[in-house]
Amino acid sequence: MRFDNLRVFTCAALLVAPGLGQADDAAEQMVQDALPVMYHTCASVVEEADGDETYIHAVVEKMTALSIYNRQINIEEHATSDEDKAALRETFLSALAEGCAEDKDALLGGVVDNAVKTTLGL
């Protein structure tokens, strides 16, 4: 199974969290949004989506936002220009695709978190 769909639908994921506040309510809501999809593996998200690309995007976006928030990352500290942000997205997408290619049964949340970590050199 190919995971190209994951690449397409995570383009905006790195830009989801820059404006997230440190408020406890925001963090709690983010956790509540992500918990119902944390069971997904690389393969299961594609299978469950059954062609619904919006579903894949939403799952990866929630996991990415949570990873960025948990690590207290401000993307603006890593990229300010559109070109820099595009380069980060490409690096993230490559890391995500590589992680899923290595193990299609890997938990997607872990693959996303590793992709964030790799992309930002953490």
DSSP for residue 15: G
Residue 1 clears pLDDT 80, i.e. is over it = no
Question: What confidence tier does 23 reach under pLDDT thresholds 50, 70, 90?
Answer: low
Residue 3 clears pLDDT 80, i.e. is over it = no
Over the stretch 66-102, which tens digit does the pLDDT of each residue have? 898 888 887 778 888 889 888 988 999 899 999 999 9
The Cα 30–Cα 16 span in angstroms is 12
> What are the counts of helices (DSSP H) followed by strands (DSSP E) for the chain?
6, 0
Instruction: Give yes or no for a contact between 56 and 17, defined as CB atoms under 8 angstroms apart.
Output: no
The Cα 119–Cα 78 span in angstroms is 10
pLDDT at residue 47 in the model? 95
